[in-house]
Amino acid sequence: MHDDRTLVEARLKRVLDERLRPAVYPEAVPLEVAVWHAPGEPVPVAEGLAAEPEPTAVGARWGAPWGTSWFRVTGTVPEAWAGRTVEAILDLGFDENMPGFQCEGLVYRPDGTPVKGLNPRNQWVRIGAPVEGGEEVRLHIEAASNPVILDYHPFLPTQLGDKETAGSDPHYTLTRMDLAVFDETVWQLVIDLEVLGELMAELPVESARRWEILRAVERALDAIDLQDVNATAEAARSRLAEVLATPAAPSAHRVSAVGHAHIDSAWLWPLRETVRKVARTTSNMTALLDDEPDFVFAMSQAQQWAWVKEHRPEVWARVKKAVADGRFVPAGGMWVESDTNMPGSEAMARQFVHGKRFFLDEFGIENEEAWLPDTFGFAAGLPQIIRAAGSKWLLTQKISWSQTNKFPHHTFRWEGIDGTRIFTHFPPVDTYNCSMKGSELAHAARNFKDKGVARHSLAPTGWGDGGGGTTREMVAKAARVRDLEGSATVTWETPRDFFEKAEAEYPEPPVWVGELYLELHRATLTSQAKTKQGNRRSEHLLREAELWAATAAVHAGFPYPYEELDRLWKTVLLHQFHDILPGSSIAWVHREARATYERVAAELDAVIDAAQRALAGEGSTSLVFNAAPHARAGVPAGAAGTALVQGATRLSPRPGGGHVLDNGLLRVEIDARGLVVSAYDSTADRETIAPGRAANLLQLHPDFPNMWDAWDVDEFYRNTVTDLTDADEVSPGEDGTSVRIVRSFGASRVTQVLTLPPGERRLVLDTEVDWHETEKFLKLAFPLDVHAERYASETQFGHFHRPTHTNTSWETAKFEACNHRFVHLEEPGWGVAVVNDSTYGHDVTRTVRTDGDRGTTTTVRVSLLRAPRFPDPETDQGVHRFRHALVPGAGIGDAVREGWRINVPERRVEGAGEVAPLVSVDQEAVVITAVKLADDGSGDVVVRFHEAHGGRVRAVLRAGFEVADVTVTDLLERPLTDGAAVERDGAGIAVRLRPFELVTLRLRRA
């Protein structure tokens, strides 16, 4: 037989495009349209419905950027259409390639009842099936004219990302507003042919199945009268019935389809627009659930559910019913799909506390999966947190984006820093926007790396990012491939259904140890510095507020601010969403984030101040309140007292220019360029800075990645570097015991103050940058005389090690990585820490000196600032302040302590006398991360702590009150049956901890 594949395939494409799809709506009449443009921000639904619109028509321009227009469409169903299915076709000016990324709408009935959402792939509203004829139609559309930020030529700088700069010109053209007859037979024929055509294209040319499909398609096309498609569609369908009924092979890959709409809580739209995106999507999905009995939809992010409840109660009622029916499924158990690299220990824990508690309170549903399809890599401390929250599974898709190395598994156990293992799945479909195309299903089956030992994978199915969700076309396609020869089989299932089946068939999968590093989007550790600083500051302020409020509640009867702390935690958790904290959202989002963090700080400072004054009492003694988890200047952790005076620091001229700082423990030489050329540890008789090198070196790189500007830094940025060694000023600081350095470069200016505190082995660097560069990357370098093959990087509830070498492509790819408060490296018996108060991105490299002692120089570089132009063309312009410290002679315990010290400054309050800690622990290796009152209002004290040095320890916890009972709990403060073993030790509570083990205790007061 002659090979006529291309002929038939081309025929199929043209017939579908030019005859069949247009015939789905064979008859149409126009609707009358009127519009009211809301001034300013969106208005309540009742106001939009009551507004008096003005007549408009198809072809009219509408939609200023970020505006809202209320369209009213009216019409009458023709009497001649009686007995037929009728739909309204409402095209606001959609580009079908941009679902979620342009204008959208939510359709209401005149009484305010939501009907469904409108988007580029979902433009229809059912009027009747069948209609009687003569029905009056009246619908209202709340239309959002969100501008297109990520266009066909992506990553071009645009002012559309903020309402203040976006202008007022209309962006859309009203394209179609019709009542139309819906021919379901033709629609079903279109789906039949799409499924078979897509499957055929994925089958081997030599396979009999491909040719069987080809011939069946050809027979169907022969049966169609192209001049009367609607009358011949049924005959064409009958010629496809046999090939559509052939069952799949028993060995076929099995796909669990989960209806989904990954909605970014903010990204190329502001938070307020996400509130409406969620309402549109949930309206769509509840309507689809009514129409499709096999369909199941899952939505993550408790915050988004809370938005629906608060802002769209009429939609919430439909959602609650669908949840009760078991078909609209809460997923993930987190407040938002957060970044997991940068959130601190407690914040990461609270993502699960608040997320899981919302679903438990609202629906009585316990999530056991973490659902993070789009998060940019996963910190090594996360498995323990997932387990401590009562969950046991993880799903993500994003690692498939890695540029260099292909991850070796799709189903595996992920082991975290404490040894906790989590059953983890990466969907081999490689998208969280699966649309049930044959190419997607075939890719999932081919790509699945665990063939032979496992057969199941998951496919999140529906338009996401900007929302929209699953469409009826996707559901119809899934029905055809439920059991179809040549295809993976597809079944609608909940995430729990999938994980239970996958774990049962693959009980001993391979293990991956350590972080799940995404080899992409590394610059998200640096972009939008003020957002990151706001997050870090808020995390520590929340910890302080809980600590002092709990202490004051127990010791002084202070009213514990449950509701205020709950609200503020949720605000901070929201801003840890994986496009806000990483700095990859539009200008509007980050402008609002900066203002929000200022309000959060003001409220928390007020809580802290009130609690501390309640504890201090009336008096004139200057008390130092120490919220850090280690003693400071003689003041115990979590206590207040009089600080000890510790020696003095001398400032003297340096021969050859510059200055010397010396406190007897550390001698620091700063040359005439303002660079640190020596940091001599007097106790260890050891130099810190590599020979011939200088620390406190600011380095400027060009920064123009190949794509994803705010997200990416590509390795070639290192090829060009400018060392900023010219100084405008190097002079003694105002206090006479510090050095002030001023530099100018480009359009920017840096002012630094280097301080050596008395009695301490740490050099503090306060850096102010007035930053006005474009597409540049600013680093702060510390070349250290340390031979180390690995370094420690703090993560949630501990630290883990990364190599300093580049032996393999896996190490090479980690040229920019995340740390929390410290980076530490050491030789046996002596180490160095670099600690920070608000930065995350860094790199560590090593070279061997070819002259002199031929020793090893290990360089730690802190990432300070970037200046990408997309999606925010003014990213990071302005003044920034950073604090870092170089700590010579530091062991890992010193790194932990100094990391906390720089992030939790002491507070001074005048009062009557010392304040004892509410709880204390006798081991430095045990770090208390939370002291609070139990969330249930019982008055119980909750203490969370972990082993922080990476070893085993027996610790005794002591409470500053009489303890009636001790319970080991999960993160949600529920009793654990398999928790850490604790025992009473006199007046204390003894606990044994393995490396990095996390423990939560609930102490009932007598």
Q: Which residues are catalytic?
A: 374
Establish how many alpha carbons lie within 13 A of residue 354's alpha carbon, considering only the half-sphere containing its beta carbon: 27
What does the DSSP assignment read for 637-690? TTEEEPPPP----EEEEPTTSSEEEE-SSEEEEE-TTS-EEEEEETTTTEE-BP
Cα 581 to Cα 406: distance, rounded to the nearest angstrom: 27
Residue 93's region, left for phi above 0, alpha for psi from -120 to 50, else beta, is: left
Cα 520 to Cα 681: distance, rounded to the nearest angstrom: 39
Instruction: List, in sequence order, the alpha helices (H) in 16-54.
Output: 21-23, 45-50
* 875 neighbors 778 (Cβ within 8 angstroms): no
Give the closest residue to 888 by CA, choosing from 706, 686, 728, 602: 686
Tokens matching residue 442: 């075939």
* 326 neighbors 802 (Cβ within 8 angstroms): no
Indicate the length of the chain as a whole number: 1006
Cα 467 to Cα 262: distance, rounded to the nearest angstrom: 6
* 938 neighbors 975 (Cβ within 8 angstroms): no
Cα 979 to Cα 958: distance, rounded to the nearest angstrom: 19
User: What SS3 class is residue 13?
Assistant: helix
- Gyration radius (Cα) of the chain, Å: 31
Long-range contact list for 734-737, CB < 8 A, 24+ apart? 736/651, 737/648, 737/649, 737/650, 737/651, 737/661
Task: State the sign of the Cα–Cα–Cα–Cα dihedral 548, 552, 554, 559.
Answer: negative
Within 10 A of 109 (CB to CB), how many other CB atoms are there? 12
Tokens matching residue 477: 């396609």
Tokens matching residue 864: 């300070």
HEC letters along 286-343 = HHHHHHCCCCCEEECCHHHHHHHHHHCHHHHHHHHHHHHCCCEEECCCCCCCECCCCC
Q: How far apart are the first and last CA of the chain?
A: 90
Cα 624 to Cα 891: distance, rounded to the nearest angstrom: 26
Fill in the amino acid letter for 850.
T
